[in-house]
Amino acid sequence: MTAVDAVVRPQRSSRRRAGRIGIRDGRFALLYLSPALIVFGVFTIGPALFVLYISLFDWNLLNSSLSTFTGLHNYRALGSSADFWHSIVASVYFVGCVVAGSTVFGLGIALLLSSRGLVRRVVRLAVLTPYFTPLVATSIVWVWIFNPQYGLLDSLLRMLHLPMVGWLQSTTWAMPAVIFYTLWHDLGFTVIIFLAGLATVSTDLREAARVDGARYRHEIRDVVLPQLTQTIVFVIVITTIDSLQAFTQIYTMTQGGPLQATTTTGFLLYQESFVFFHTGFGAAIAVVLFAVIALFTLLQLRVSRSRSQ
């Protein structure tokens, strides 16, 4: 045995041993993870792949043997479908307003509530409460608030001698009404995120700015907001994903109407798949929606990673 052998052999054997331990650990990890992987595979990955498969067929929901392979036909049909493009416009309207509203009002309310005090704690609780209420129940309550004959809003308009508005019946007002409800329900979540973000803002810097004579708005603009950038991006991404998936309030309040004014892409997916049973076409919508949401999820992951770094 040479000197080199004497040095190298133990190194090789320890590497081999380490490799064996690594493989064994990997097997154990896989074993422990397998229940979760099986559940995830069967109930999430499997159905998702099946949706992709269905989207390539003129799918017969009741008798799959009568389904015919149509390749990318459903995707081409999506491209030429006026209803689909109308739903994209409605989605952009809904998502844009909800994201902008959640971010601006969420941040504003969080700034107002960030200092201590009993009243502010009570207000904080009040803002957060709607978020914990069931969407179906509260959206039905809002349907009655928006009712043109007996609703609270139109009663106020009548008291002020203003013309009545059919909030959920008008193509002009139905989407703003649904957006208003969504903001009312979801704002508490963004306020909490912003409050958490504000807790990490350096108080030394804020005090230094104040000592230097900065006004409140300058303190917010030049000291607080730059430190909140990642929180703001996080809120925008999360709210965008949530809004793209919004369904319950649209289903309960407007059923996508009037005249499809509130038919977002998510609602169109339901309508085509489960009302008209155009299953292949609906699956193609689901795949497109999935791709968009996956894009935002990746963005969110990157933001989360950069935050943790």
Partner 1 sequence: MTPFAQNHHNSREGTMHWHRRSSIVVGALLAAAACSYAAYGATASSRATINISFMEAMASGTQKPSLDLLTKRFEAQHPNIKVTLIAEPNYGVLQQKEQAAIAAGKPPTIGQAYENWAAGYADAKAIIPLTGYVNSKKMGVTTADRKQIWKGVWQDLFLPDGKIWMWPFNKSDYVMYYNADKLAKAGLQVPKTWVQFATVAKALTKSGNWAWSTDTGTLAAPADGTIVMLAMIHAFGGTWIANGKPTLNTPAAIKALGYLADLKKSGALQIGTNYPGETALGAGRSAFDLSTIAGYPYELAADGGKFSMKVAALPTGRNGEGNAMAGTNIVIFSKASNAERAAAWQYMKFLSEPRQTAYWAEATGYLPVTKTALPIMKRYIATHPYQQIAAHSLDVARGNPPYAWWTVAEGQLATALQAVLDNGGDPAHALAAAQAKAMAAAGG
Question: Cβ of residue 267: shortest distance to partner 1, in angstroms?
Answer: 8
Comparison of 81 and 114: residue with beta carbon closer to partner 1: 81
Q: Which is nearer to partner 1, 81 or 103 (CB)?
A: 81
Min CB(270)–partner 1 separation in Å: 8
* CB closer to partner 1 out of 77 and 88: 77
Q: Is 137 exposed, middle or buried (0-12, 13-18, 19+ CB in 10 A)?
A: exposed
CA atoms within 13 A on the CB side of 202: 10
- The Cα–Cα gap between 60 and 57 comes to 9
Separation between Cα atoms, residue 98 and residue 186, nearest integer Å? 9
Closest approach of partner 1 to the CB of residue 281, in Å: 5
Cα distances from 253 to residues 101, 130, 132, 138, 146, in angstroms, run 20, 17, 19, 10, 10
CA dihedral 185, 187, 193, 199 (to 10 degrees): -130
User: Which residue, 144 or 216, is less far from partner 1 as judged by CB?
Assistant: 144
Cβ 295 to partner 1 shortest distance, Å: 25
Residues in contact with partner 1 by the rule CB under 8 A = 58, 60-64, 66, 68, 70, 73-74, 77-78, 81, 140, 143-144, 147-150, 166, 168-171, 254-260, 263, 267, 270-271, 274-278, 280-281
Q: Which is nearer to partner 1, 53 or 216 (CB)?
A: 53
CA angle centred on 7, ends 6 and 13, rounded to 5°: 90
Shortest separation between residue 68's beta carbon and partner 1, angstroms: 6
